[in-house]
Amino acid sequence: MSSLVEQSKRSAAFAAVDKHVLPSVRVLGIGSGSTVVYAVDRLLELKNQNKLNPDLVCVPTSFQSKQLITDAGLRSADLDDLSILDPELGGFKSIDVTIDGADEVDSELNAIKGGGAAHLREKLVANASNKFVLIADSRKDSQLLGEKWDKGIPVEVSPLAWRTISRQLERICSIQSGAASLFELQAPVAQLRQAVRKAGPVVTDNGNFVLDVHVGKIYDPPAVEQLFKMIPGVIEVGVFSGMADEAWFGNEDGTIACRIPKSEMKKLD
């Protein structure tokens, strides 16, 4: 990957952290992926400058992000442990802000996530956050999901019935009325994700398998997300619809773009 792409990721991550991780932030969700590495780098710099809340707690979304937090000397806690650490944090929206990467983001800030097979925990943490911020390089910025990302929708499934679930996903247009209008392909293709440098499939941090479901362009992300989740054995779907408040994209020319959902922009006009 070119150094310009890496620099663009770094720029987006640093800008998002500088805006949102203020000394008033007590609980911070840390996403997963290559761009999040740069976000933690910036957190470490702020920590060394005494610009973070001294009681800051970071909530990881994967084994990777927990390692990043630990290596940076930051305090970590799992989502369900927050109320034990401090009863005042026991409310549903107990995380001040979560910063996470994305595989693709559309004009409404709906996102495809799960390229790193961490989307279940990522969605749990995002859902418990007062603000959810995405960071990525400009290659991930699209008008429609599936326009650039061609690796399918990551779907975490129970290993007990992955073949059955795969067949149901591939036949969903004939099983479910109206499904054919939600995405481009009339015959979705579900593939069991295979591990690299390990024989057999990818196993998530939660002990499940991942199906990558190819549907082409996605015309109605919220409907696709709900449609897939209705299938028994589907644990979580890597479509994050209506969750992100803001997205930061780094460009190879060094500039940074910050976007809010297109519908929110119209309200401001």
Catalytic residues: 122
Secondary structure of the chain in the HEC alphabet? CCHHHHHHHHHHHHHHHHHHCCCCCCEEEECCCHHHHHHHHHHHHHHHCCCCCCCCEEEECCHHHHHHHHHCCCCECCHHHHHHHCHHHCCCCCECEEEECCCEECCCCCEECCCCCCHHHHHHHHHCECCEEEEEEHHHECCCECCCCCCCEEEEECHHHHHHHHHHHHCHHHHCCCHHHCECCCCCEEEECECCCCCCECCCCCCCEEEEEECCCECCHHHHHHHHHCCCCEEEECEECCCCCEEEEECCCCCEEEECCHHHHHHHC
The pair of three-digit structure tokens given for residue 94, joined into one six-digit string: 């107990």
> In angstroms, rounded to a whole number, what is the distance separating the alpha carbons of residues 250 and 259?
11
In sequence order, which residues have a C-beta less than 8 Å from that of residue 205 and are 6 or more positions away?
A: 62, 63, 117, 118, 121
Q: Sign of torsion, CA 195 197 199 203?
A: negative
Beta strand 97-100 with 27-30 is parallel
